Amino acid sequence: MVFWDCGRRLCNIINMVKKKKKEKNEFVQAVYDIHKVAATRMDKKNRRNFLQKEAEKLGVKSKKNPKIPYNIYQGILRKEKEIQMQEKEDFLLNKEATYFNPVKKKNKKPQLRQRSSTPKTGKYKNGTLHLDKSLLSK
Tens of pLDDT, residues 95-125:
655 565 566 556 666 676 666 555 567 777 8
Asked whether residue 73 falls in the same domain as residue 51, the answer is: no
Asked whether residue 80 falls in the same domain as residue 43, the answer is: no
pLDDT value, residue 96? 58
Please state the pTM of the whole predicted model: 0.30
CA atoms within 13 A on the CB side of 114: 4
Q: Number of folded domains in the chain?
A: 2
Can you give the residue range of the structural domain that contains 17?
1-63
Question: In the chain, pLDDT over 90 holds for what percent of residues?
Answer: 14
Asked whether residue 53 falls in the same domain as residue 11, the answer is: yes
pLDDT value, residue 4? 47
What's the average pLDDT block by block, 10 residues per block, for the chain (138 residues)?
A: 53 74 81 81 87 85 84 94 90 65 62 62 79 69
